[in-house]
Structure formats: C-alpha cells, structure tokens
Structure 1
Amino acid sequence: MTEGAEAKTLRLNEIDNVAIALTALEVGEDIATTPIPRSHKVATVDIAAGSHVLRYGQIIGKADCFVPAGSHVHDHNMSMSDHTKDYAFASAANPLPAPDRSRTFQGYHREDGRVGTRNYIGVLTSVNCSGSVARFIAEAADKSGLLDAYPNVDGIVPIVHGSGCGMANRGDGYDILLRTLAGYARNPNFGAILLVGLGCEVLQLADLVGDRKITADGCLRYMTIQQMGGTRRTIEAGLTHIASLAVFANQASRSPASVSELVLGMQCGGSDGYSGFTANPALGVASDLLVQHGGTSILSETSEIYGAEHLLTRRAVSADIGQAILDKITWWEEYCALHGAKMDNNPSPGNRRGGLTTILEKSLGAVAKGGQAPLSGVFDYAAPITSKGFVFMDSPGYDPCSVTGQVASGANLIAFTTGRGSVSGYKPAPCIKLSSNSDLYARMGEDIDINCGDIVEGVALAAKGAEIFETLIDVASGRATKSEDLGFGGVEFVPWQIGAVL
C-alpha cells in the first residue's frame, strides 16, 4: 500500500485485513488485483473462507469464500457474522477534562431556563385532519407580511403529521406521539405556539396543553376547527392568534448564553466507506468539545449502533446505563423479528454503493460521532433529556424520524454527516451538513456546510473537529445553514409510528 499524501489506500488499524480505496483502483494499481471502486474495501492479505473481516480493529463480517489479497471485498464475498459480546460495563468511562464554561453564544433565553438558537412561532397539529388548515394559517400569515414588524421572529413553522386519530388511546403508539408533540411545543427554539386540532380526534389538545398556562398575553394558544366553525373561520382566528403571539415572541432578543445550554442532535445519513474515518469522527471531536464546555450531545439510531453497542456499554458511567443500551438492542431484535425484518437489512442500497457491506461495518463508523466522552444517559424516543454530557436516545435509523425525536427531546441544534448526499432540514432546529468526501462537496456544495473529505488530504482530525465546533457556535448565534437558506424544514417532521391503525 502506498503511504503519505499520495496514498491510494488506507488501513485504519494495524490488525485490519482490509484497507479503504481512496481512489478508484485498476488492476495492478497499488495492491489491487481486481478493480476497486473508491471508498470500497480491498483485502490486504489472503482471507480464508469463514474468517473474520476486520476494519477499525473490529469484526465487520466474515468471508463467504477464499478472498485473495488485493481483491475487492464487498457483498459478493462477505456477509454478516457474529460479533463481540464483551460489554465490559463502565470499564472505559474516562472523564474528559473539566468543562470550560467560558464560551458563549447569542441565544434566546426562555422562562424555563433553557436557551433557544432560533425564535420561531410554531403551529402544531394534534391530528392529520388539522394539518392543511395549519399550513393555510402559516401561508396566509406569510403572504400578509404579518411578521415584517417583528424582526426578532424567525418565521412561522407548521408542524403537521399523518396520525393523531385512528389509533388506540393508550400504549406505545399514543404515548410516543403525545411525547413528541409535547416536546416540540416545549422546544426552546419556539418562542410561541399555536395548537390546532379538529376537535374529535383521539389525541386531544387538552392532553398536549397539560399543565401549561394559557393566558391572553402568553406564548401558548389553542383552538379546534369544529369549535371555530370551519376552515375559513379557523384561518381568520389563527391569524389573530399569530399576530398576538408575534408580539410576545418579538420581545425575545439574542443575548449571551453559556455554550453549556447547547443540545446537539447528531445524525448520519447516506453514509459511505469514508464516513467512519472522516466526517463521523470529526463530529465526534466536536461532540467532545461541546461536552467539555458543559453541553449535551445526543447519539441516536439504535438500529445503527447494532454491532457497536459494546463500545458504548464500556463508556457508560454505570452498569445500569450500559444495560439500558442492551435492553434497547434486545427490543429492536424482537421488534424486527415480529415484523419479518432483520437488523442487517441496513445498510441501504446507497450505503452499499458507497462501500459499506454489513450493519456491523456501518455501526462501527456511526458510533464514531459520539467521540470519547462517557455515556451519561439512555433515553426513550422523544423523552426529555435530563442529563448533561454525551447521551443516547432510542430511535429508528430513518433520519427524519430520528431527528424528530431528538428535537422533541430538546435538541436546539442538529449536525448531520453524509457520504452519498442529503437534502433536508429540521425546523425549528438549524441543521449543519458535513460531507465525508471531497467529491460530494464538489457536487453538492450548495447543500453542505463543511467538507470533511480533506481529512484524507492531510487535515488533522482535531482541527476539523474544532472547525465544526466553532461552526456550531456560529450557527447557534444566528448564522444560517445551507439547508435554512434553501428553505428546508417543512416536511421533515416524522414522528415514530408504532401500533395498529384502527
């Protein structure tokens, strides 16, 4: 294998028996004895049939046949295998250096003590039946120029979804939807909230309001279409409410806040063979810096830590937290089996074209987003995050659904790594996109905020992590992300749906 700046392959751990092609290799080029696509794996030694394939110094699968050195290693000759079960609870929960609370960002201070990075008015719906009317209200307010007089308000965000009725009024499905909507209503990036229901749905507005105060000059209003007398009257009433809420929300202005008030949701989507050693670990460095400053970072996507959960259980601050991770994995195994699926259904076709072969390989790269900080908590989907530091929130691997849970849990900022390309945004939380390779950044630079592909070209991982951390602070202080400039965030609210449709 070539080394240095002109390297064409990269072995990530000295015990690995595969390397990553940093450029497409022809037969006879570098160590290749077969054509190797860029970001795919090439065998560095002969691998016997049935033997473990190693990357990151970890098992990522097994060879299905004899694989000669120099051969392309992918789903034609390797597959899923058993992986380590050595969970070693709390054995590597090494604390990071003491938090530095001197850094600040310019945020919106809320009455409950939390701090927002944006100041939106949310129009939240209890049921799909009120979704169109919520959009009509937001559109009418935008067309009227209602917010022109309120410079501190970032906009109006309708939060619509496909559920809220035709479901049981108890159980996991109901609890998750209620928790998700209630979490959005409390997210610090909303300066004011208008709740809109139909009136007869299973999930009632009163349950969403809970113990929150409803006052004429406060930040929360609610109404139902049936009570108001139909679509037109509801829109008119909604505009009146929005005008009042804008007055309230506009009273907030940016002022210094400790970086410890940042809650970062971390995601990866459209990953490739580069993601696990460029963008993901660079985000992990930024995550550690945030934790060192007293902030919170959230790793999620339970189906995409499968095979790497032992790296998290070892970093858990207690055996109970380590066991909580395993309990989530067990639930997912049973859930998949119940529905005729399997955990190795992931990676997706796009992931495979990018060089990833098994869920073990994908998960080991995905976990790198979590850096090295101790794992201080494990939370249910959309549950309020009550621990500072690095935490885990249970969720599917489907990105919009996972981010929706993180925002409901309190995330006021999202960082999203991608190797194949991603176009999305997650209002009310600004989303920073990170590319794993420079080719992607060259093609889709209008959608990507930071290129991490230059790590392969010699940029230090620590330097890239610091760049991401500084960008997070800038965005939290008001700098627009690429996805915000493009107007994303209108269709990415996707609560996790579990249970029967009745």
Structure 2
Amino acid sequence: MSTEHSGEGAAPDPVVTPASALIVLHPDDNVAVARFALPAGARIARPDGSALRVAAPIDAGHKLALRPIGRSDLVLKYGQPIGVATMPIEGGDHVHGHNVEMPAAMPARTTAQAASAVMPVDTTATFEGYRRADGRVGTRNYIGVIASVNCSATVCKAIAQVFQGPGLPAGVDGVVPITHGSGCGMSAEGEGLTLLQRTLRGYAAHPNFAAVLVVGLGCEVNQIGPLIEALPAATRERLRTLTIQEAGGTREAVEQGQALVRELADQAALARRSTVPMSALVVGLQCGGSDGYSGISANPALGAAVDLLVRHGGTAILSETPEIHGAEHLLTARAASPEVARRLMARMQWWEAYAARHGARLDNNPSPGNKAGGITTILEKSLGAVAKGGGSPLNEVIEYAEPVRGRGLVFMDTPGYDPVSATGQVAGGATLICFTTGRGSTYGCKPTPSLKLATTTTLFERMRLDMDFNAGGIVDGTQTVAEAGEALFQLMRETASGRRTLSEEHGLGDNEFVPWQLGAVM
C-alpha cells in the first residue's frame, strides 16, 4: 500500500491529481480506495504517465475501478474476490452495490497473504495487574452484582446505584450491575440455559471482579445453587448470594445487598497491582461500525499489535463468525493443526444452517452504515475484519463464552453483533477489549476496559471524547501499519496497568452485557 498522501478532506486542485489519492492494496486488484473524496471529472495520475478520469463523485473510503471490469467478472480487493460485476464497469467508475453483488458460488481464493508468522516468545514486556487467587490476572478491580434472572435485574441495579458516587474504599473501581433479559421462561435443559449459565459463570469468575454478589428472585429456572456449584472453589470464596423472596421483598433485598457489597468492597480494597508479564493479558478483538478504511488502517494496526502480544506470550480472541464468512480460508491456512481448521469450518457450517433455518443468509451483511462507509459485500467486510488477528498462527477454536485456556490467537464462535460477541469474549476471560470503528462506535464494556480505535483522523478528531486511538495516520501516510501497531501495543500495556479508557472516563459500559440467547422462550 502506498504511504504517500495528500491528506483527508477536499481533493487538491491541480489539473492531474497525484496517484496517492488512491490506495491500491494489492498488485492484482482492479479497484482502489479513495483516500479522500474525489469530484467527478478529476484526473488521477497513473505510473505510465496517463490519467484515470473519475466518472462520478467518489466519497472517501469508497472504491473506483482501476481498469475496465466486464459483466460477471470478479472484483478484486486485497488480492481477493469481493464480488462480481453486475454490469460492465469502466475505469474510473464508482464500484459499489449498484454494480457489484455477491457471486452465486464462492469463487476460488488464494491464501498467499495468510502465511503464519511463527514468532519466538519474548518475556520482556510487563504490565501492572491484579493477580487473583486462581492465578489469573485482572486489569481492573470492580465488584459485580450479577442477576441470575431478569426478575432480579431491577434489584441488582438498585444495589449498585448507591455506589455510583463517593463511598467505596480507595482502590475499588466501582460496582457493576450485570443484568439481562433471560433466566426463566426457558427449558431447564438444553442449549439456552447451558449458554446463559456458561456466560454468567464466566463473569462471576472474571479476574476484573475482586468479588461478586449473585442476586436471584428465588423461583426462576436458572437457580443460583446449580449456577454457582460449578464454579471453582477460589471463585466461590469471593462470591455472595441473595434471593429476593427469601430476603422478604425488593426493598429488603436492596438493603441486604448493599450491606453485602460494602463487606465485599472492604475485601476488594486490599488488592494491589503488581508487575506481571504480558503473557497474563487476554485481549478481545472487536470491530463495529466498519467503513472502507477498516481493513486498511485500524484492523491491520490491531493485527500488528496482536502479533506483538502473541510474541510476548499473551492471548488474543478473534470472534464474530458471520463476519469472517468468505475469509475463513485465511485463518484455516494458518491453523496450528488440521483439527483446529476443521473446528473452524464446522462452526461456519453451523452458521450457514442456522441462518437458513431463520430464512436468512450470511451474505445479507454488511449493515447500512457499513455500506455508507464504502463496504459493498460481506466478502469485502470479512477480508478486512480478519486483519485484526494479525499473522499469528490460529491455535484454538472454542465455543461462545467458553473459558480461554490456551495462549496465542484463539477464535471464539460468536454472532457478529458487537455487544453479544464482546459479552462472550469477556465471559471467556478477556481483560481488555480493542474495538476498531470507522463510523464511530462508543462501546463501553464493564468490567473490561474497551479501547476504541478510529480508522481515520477525521473520525478521531470528530469524536475526540470517544476515540482512544487514531489509526488514521496509516490512511494519511504519516504512519506505517507496524508503527501504529507498536503504538497501540504500548497503549494496551498502559490501559491494562490502569490508564482509564474514554468510555470509563464517561462512566459508560454498565448496560452492554448481552448474552447470546438460543433455544425456545416459553
């Protein structure tokens, strides 16, 4: 990718616009991405001395054809097919949903750019974290108030609300209510309850919680007893329970719950940060509100940071299974074993059948916001999304909210919907979330800090109170992917050590617990 630039915003005004106005990602590509908005009639210099004329206005981040593309020909970006032309496309034409669609069958794809980057373990980098009794390390020191059922959600929020202001001992980051819309009206057996309990147990045992209070109504399907009996002994020691019916009602439960939280807060205040290796950090990788630059700047920068993390023995969780549709070959090509590749493909097949059962298709993505930002098909979106995983080997494939026990790059099967996906990652043990965005997501994620990574300088400047990191220098040409990855890796270390994210500064992240709901609601 060219690193020369003219900056974002209005196009320069010479008769011939420099070739750096276009971002060409691979020599085989027949489309390029506009570095800034291009007016109709603009003439862009070619290496051979000729000029490419822009036929119609091209928004920043959108694609235009570098040469003629025939009807039914493949449209290539990243050196990979992203769709087929539905009509003849001339060089300089805008290339988007009006003249490109998903192919009827998946085209042949190459894995040449997905070679594994096997790197030696480097143990020099550290961060300041909370080492818990079970050996895991937290990046925050919260107390959780977890609802077993929606019927106890209001009580959980009322318990936590009194601690929103002053009153907690020094060193305790806050009290987080974890509430949801399930827990009853479901079968006492089956995948729905199993998935909910696995998710709640993951939060109850999470190292970013110093202690946890679990609150139930008393008569729900998701009974507290079976829920917590499966937890490790070290987790149960820092956990308290309360049922509204046994307490005597909502007011009594709130009073008793607040008293229990005060006791837990005194214990939590004893925790201290200590120096730990980066191998103790578990990072969830998310992208939301993607645009045409996501696969060019923020996602590759995050991938470069992930490769550094893996080199230091740390763990990164790539997810959002429907949003790797069409790019799964880039992951299976670097799977650590044939079994890992098989497990990933099995999850893709499950999703295809799942979508079909509900009258949907995996290629109905991208969203309207993605399209407005320049993404045309799920193939294009997926090729950019997998860049978050860097080039490290794929070591494991696990199910939603399953505990992450291995190190390196791990794939967790989750929906593409960001809150549901991130909830699964946190339940699995993610102690930091890195969230790339091109349109401007404001996602917080208590108890796990969430770093928002902007794809462009324009977005970073427009949403300065929400964006933690600017990857736009890659688009501007002022920073390489490797440089951005190194800077992001250092920000990850600082955040894991206690530096507050902007969502934490604003108090965001109390309402983003959204477990994946499967099974019948009865």
Q: TM-score range by the shorter chain?
A: over 0.9
Instruction: Work out the CA distance in 2 between the residues paired with 1:196 and 1:248.
Output: 19
**Matched ranges for 1:347-358 at <5 A:** 347-358=366-377
- Normalised to the residue count of structure 1, the TM-score between the two structures is 0.96
- Structure 1 match to 2:288: 269
Do 1:180 and 1:382's aligned partners in 2 also have CA atoms closer than 8 Å?
A: yes
- Other-structure match for 1:116: 138
SS in 2 for 1:4: coil
Query: Residue in 2 aligned with 1:5?
Result: 5
Q: Which one is further off, 23-32 or 300-309?
A: 23-32
Runs of 4 or more, structure 1, over 2 Å off, are 1-6, 82-88, 90-97, 140-143, 211-215
- Aligned pairs for 1:97-108 within 5 A: 97-108=119-130
Q: Percent identity?
A: 53
8 Å contact 2:340–2:397 — kept in the other structure? yes
SS in 2 for 1:390: strand
Which ranges of structure 2 fall in alignment gaps of 5 or more residues? 7-19, 45-51
Distance in 2 of aligned mates of 1:342 and 1:330 = 12
Counterpart CA distance in 2 for 1:87 and 1:337 is: 27
- Alignment of 1:141 with 2:163, yes or no, is yes
Q: Work out whether residues 81 and 109 of structure 2, in 8 Å CA contact, stay in contact via their aligned partners in 1.
A: no
Equivalent of 1:417, from 423, 433, 436?
436
Amino acid at match of 2:31: V
Question: 1:413 is matched by which residue type in structure 2?
Answer: L
Equivalent in 60, 76, 80 of residue 58 of structure 1: 80
Number of the residue aligned with 1:483: 503
**8 Å CA contact 1:84, 1:310 repeated in 2:** no
What is residue 249 of structure 2 aligned with on the other side? Answer: 230
Distance (whole Å) between structure 1 residues aligned to residue 370 and residue 233 of structure 2: 48
Choose which of 39, 44, 65 in structure 2 pairs with 1:26: 39
Q: 1:91 to 1:55 in 2, by over 3 A?
A: closer
Which of 308, 326, 334 is the equivalent residue of 2:345? 326
1:340 is paired with a residue whose SS is coil
Q: Does the 8 Å contact 1:93/1:317 carry over to 2?
A: no
Of residues 475, 496, 502 in structure 1, which corresponds to 2:516?
A: 496
Letter of the structure 1 residue corresponding to residue 210 of structure 2: G
Q: How many residues align?
A: 498
Equivalent residue letter for 1:146: G
Distance 1:406 1:371 in 2: 18
Q: Distance in 2 between matches of 1:139 and 1:330?
A: 44
2:3–2:480 CA contact under 8 A, matched in 1 = no
Q: Which letter maps to 1:390?
A: L
TM (norm. structure 2) is: 0.93
Q: For residue 83 of structure 1, what is the aligned residue in structure 2?
A: 106
Secondary structure of 1:136 counterpart: helix
1:439 CA displacement: 1.1
Cα deviation digits, residues 144-179 of structure 1 (max 9, x gap): x431xx211100000000000011112121111110
Deviation for aligned residue 1:219: 1.3
Q: Output the amino acid matched with 2:414.
A: S
Equivalent residue, structure 2, for 1:461: 481
AA aligned opposite 2:38: L
1:394 equivalenced with 2:413 (yes/no):
yes
Matched with 1:130 is: 152
Q: 1:91 to 1:35 in 2, by over 3 A?
A: closer
Alignment of 1:248-267 (within 5 A): 248-267=267-286
Give 2:217's aligned amino acid: L
Q: Structure 1 CA distance, aligned partners of 2:92 and 2:3? A: 16
1:272-328 per-residue CA deviation (whole Å, 9 max, x = no partner) reads 000001000000000000000000000000000000000000010111100111111
In the TM superposition, what is the alpha-carbon distance from 1:93 to its structure 2 partner? 6.4
Q: Verify the 8 A CA contact 2:80 2:109 in the aligned structure 1.
A: no
Which residue of structure 1 aligns with residue 66 of structure 2? 44
In 2 relative to 1, CA 87–319 (structure 1 residues): closer, same or farther, beyond 3 Å? Answer: farther
Q: 1:361-400 CA deviation, whole Å, 9 max, x = no partner?
A: 0000000000000000000000001210001000011000
Q: How far apart are the structure 1 equivalents of 2:491 and 2:361?
A: 38
What residue identity is the alignment partner of 2:63? Answer: K
